[in-house]
Chain A
Amino acid sequence: MRKLLFQNLLRSPLTIPAPAPSEAALAELAAKVDQAARKRLGRSLSIREVDAGSCNGCELEIHALNNVFYDLERFGFHFVASPRHADVLLVTGPVTVNMKEALERTYTATPDPKWVVAVGDCGRDGGVFAGSYACVGGVSAVIPVDLHLPGCPPTPMQLLQGLLALLQAQDSSQGS
C-alpha cells in the first residue's frame, strides 16, 4: 500500500481543470435564485441524491463526479446521507408512482433554503418512460425544480457544469 501511495505522490494529478459553468444552466437559474438563499448557502453545498425511479444510468454518472477526474468536492459540493443535512436535492428518474411519496417526504425533510436539480431526460419529463401508468413523469410534476440537467444520462462534465452554474448564480448575486 505504501508503494501505491508513494507513486501517487509522484505522478501528476488526473483531475481535470475546472470547466466553465454551463450557459444553459446559468440562464435557467438567473431567474430563480433568490438573494436570501445565496447569502445563507455560501460556496459550499451539501447534496442529497434521490433516485425516484431511474434506470440507474444517471446514478453511475453522478457517482463518477466523485472520481479523481471530476473531484466534485474541490468545488465545495459534498454528498450527504440525510435530506436533513442537504441544501440540494439531486433527483433522477421519471418519478415512479411508487416513489412519489418518498420523494415528497424527502423534499419536506430538507430544510430551507433548498434547491432541486432534476437530472436526466427522465427527470425532465419522464424521458422514454413518459406516459406509463407507473410514472408521474418529470420531477417538477411532484416538487418545484430549480434546475434541469438533461441527457440520457448527462455526462459527468455536463453535471459538473450545471452544478457550477448553481454556485456561480449564488456568487454573482451576493455582490449585487
Chain B
Amino acid sequence: MMSAGSLQIMLNEGQPVAEHRPWRRVVVTAEIWNALLEGLAGGAWTMLGLWGETGMAHLALREDSSETMIVASLPCPDGRFPSVGRIHPPAQRLERTMADLVGLQPAGVPDHRPWLDHGRWPVRHPLGAASPPMGLLPPYRFLPAEGESLHQIPVGPVHAGIIEPGHFRFTANGETVVRLEQRLGYVHKGIESLLNGATIDQAARLVGRVSGDSTVAYALAFARAVEAATETIVPDRAHWLRALMAELERLANHCGDIGAICNDAAFALMLAHCAVLRELVLRASAACFRHRLLMDCVIPGGVIADLPADGVKTIQGLIAEIRHQFPPLVELYDNTASLQDRTVNTGFVRPALIKQFGCGGTIGRAGGRAFDARRQPGYPPYDQLEFATPVLTESDVNARVWLRIHEVEQSLSLIDQILQRLPAGPVRVELSSPGQITEGLALVEGFRGDILVWLRLNADSTVSRCHPRDPSWFQWPLLEAAIENNIVADFPICNKSFNGSYSGHDL
C-alpha cells in the first residue's frame, strides 16, 4: 500500500493539460502509466473510468486516502497501450470496448474478444479511424466450463419480462449455477459518436437518454462537466432545484426497485404498493417540472424552469404521503419470513471484490464500500445538507433491499431540507464561451451509483469528445460473482437487486 497523496506525487512528473477542470488531467509516459497500474492493482486507488480516442488512452483514478481525483492520459501513437485489465480485471470490458470503438489495442491481454461490436455495424472503430467492417466476425466464444454433468442454459437477448435485452449464459450443475457469463452490447446506440460535433443542447438531450431511469443524474453530470469546462457559475437556486430533482429520481427508482425485488420472490403485494409510491413521485414531478421522468429539466447553466407557485406544496404533500405509506411496507418486509427466506444470504458478493471494482451505489454500500459522490467529491447543495451515508456489510439481496429502504428515508429528509431552505433567485445563466478548447469532468451520484462524464469542447462550444460512464460497468461483472453457487431460480431476484442498466452500459 502506498502512502497518502502518492497519486499526486506520481503525477507531478506528467505533463498537465491546460483548461481541464475541475481536476487535473496529466499526460503521462508509459513508465508512469505502468506505475499507476501497479497502484491500482495493489488497491492504492480506485478506477473511475477508462476510455480512449484516436492516439490516446485516458484513465480516471481516485485515491481514497487523499480524496484526489485525476485523469492520466497515455499517448499511444501506434494504437497500443499497456493493458490495465491484465493486472486489474475491472478494466477488461472497458478495454475490449476501447478496442471495438476506437481501435486502441490493450497490449498483453489474453482475451481479444470484441465486447460491444457484434460484427453487425456498417463500420469498424466508429470512434477512431472508422473503416468498413472486415467481414463477419467469428462466432462469439463463451468461456469453456469443464466438469461432469454440467449443462448450459442460454437466456436472451429478448427476456421474458418488460426489461432490457442482454444475453446470459448459465453453466449449471443440476440446480446450482457454476458460472454465469454475460454478453452485452445489444442496445449499443453509438451515443459517443452522435455526441461528436453535437451542440451543447443536442448533447444534453443525448446524454440525458443514456439510461432513461437516471436521466436527471446524467443531465446533471453533463451539465456540471460543461460548466466546469466553460467556468460557468450556476445560480444557487439552480443547484438546489437540481438536487430536488435528483432526489425525486432516486426516490422513484428505489421505490420501484424495492417492489420489483420482492415481486421476484413472488410477493406481489409489495410491488403493488411500491408502484403506487413510485407513481405518486412521477405525478408530483410532472406537476412541478412538466415531465414525469424529469427529462431535459436539468440543463447546462441551470434548470429549464422554476418551480410553479404551488410546487413546494405539491412536493410537501408527496413527502407526507410517502412518510405515511412507506413505514407499514418496511414493516411488512421485515416481518415476512417467507420473503426474507429468499433474500437473506442470496446473491452474496465479497466486499473485497466490491472494493476492487470500485462498485458504487446501493450494491457498493450494501457491501461495505461507503463511497457516495454526493459527499466525496461532493457538489452543491449537498455540502449544506445533513445526511448520513448508510452502509451495510452483509452484501446480499437483503442488504441491498435495506440499503434502498434507508436511502428512501434519506431522500425524504433531503427533500424536506431542500424545500425548507430553497434560496431565491434566478434558475439559469447563459454559459460562458471561453473561445478555446476546454475540458471538463464531473462525477454525480445517480440512484444506481456514481456517473462519470468527461468531455472536451471545441472553441465554438460544440462537443469534440464526450464519454459518459455508467455505474453498471463496475456492477455487471459482480453479478456474475453474486450468482455463483446460487440456484438458477434465484437469478431473477439477484439480478433485480443489482438492477444494472443495459442501455447505460451499452451506450
Contact = CB atoms under 8 A, between A and B. Distances in A.
Interface of A: 1, 3-5, 14, 49-64, 66-69, 79, 81-83, 93-94, 96-102, 106, 127-129, 131-135, 152-153, 155
B332 to A, nearest CB: 6
24 contacts: A1-B269, A4-B329, A53-B187, A56-B502, A57-B215, A57-B293, A59-B212, A60-B213, A60-B293, A83-B158, A93-B187, A96-B189, A98-B188, A102-B157, A102-B165, A129-B189, A129-B191, A129-B206, A129-B209, A131-B194, A133-B126, A134-B121, A134-B126, A134-B190
A92 to B, nearest CB: 9
A68 B336 CA distance: 23
A79 B163 CA distance: 12
Contacts of B292: 61, 155
B187 A57 contact: no
A96 B186 contact: yes
Contact of B209 (A57, A59, A82, A106): A57
Contact of B189 (A64, A69, A79, A94): A94
B266 to A, nearest CB: 14
B78 to A, nearest CB: 25
Interface of B: 118, 120-123, 126, 157-158, 160-165, 185-191, 193-194, 202, 205-206, 209-213, 215, 256, 269, 272-273, 275-276, 278-279, 282, 286, 292-293, 295, 328-329, 332, 335-336, 501-503
Contact of A134 (B163, B189, B328): B189
By Cβ-Cβ distance, the 4 closest A-B pairs, closest first, are A57-B212, A134-B190, A81-B160, A132-B190
Nearest to A100: B120
A51 B187 contact: yes
A63 B336 contact: no
A155 B293 CA distance: 10
Pick the most buried of B123, B160, B187, B272: most chain A CB atoms within 10 A of its CB: B187
Q: Which of the listed residues B123, B292, B328, B335 has the most CB atoms from chain A within 10 Å of its own CB?
A: B292
Contacts of B164: 51, 54, 56, 59
A68 B190 contact: no
B505 to A, nearest CB: 11
B120 A98 contact: yes
A104 to B, nearest CB: 11
A74 B158 CA distance: 26
A127 B191 CA distance: 12
B162 A53 contact: no
B275 A132 contact: no
A133 B212 contact: no
**Of B158, B161, B293, B329, most A-chain CB atoms within 10 Å:** B158
A3 B276 contact: no
Contacts of B163: 51, 59
Nearest to A135: B189
A139 to B, nearest CB: 14
A60 B279 contact: no
Contacts of A57: 209, 212-213, 215, 293, 295
Nearest to B209: A55
Given A59-B164, A60-B293, A96 B187 contact: yes
Nearest to A67: B275
A133 B123 contact: yes
Nearest to B117: A98
A97 B336 CA distance: 45
Given A53-B188, A129-B191, 19 more contacts: A51-B165, A54-B164, A54-B503, A55-B211, A55-B212, A57-B213, A64-B275, A96-B188, A98-B118, A98-B120, A98-B186, A99-B157, A128-B205, A128-B206, A129-B209, A132-B190, A133-B121, A134-B188, A134-B193
Given A55-B210, A59-B162, A128-B206, A67 B278 contact: yes
A82 B211 CA distance: 25
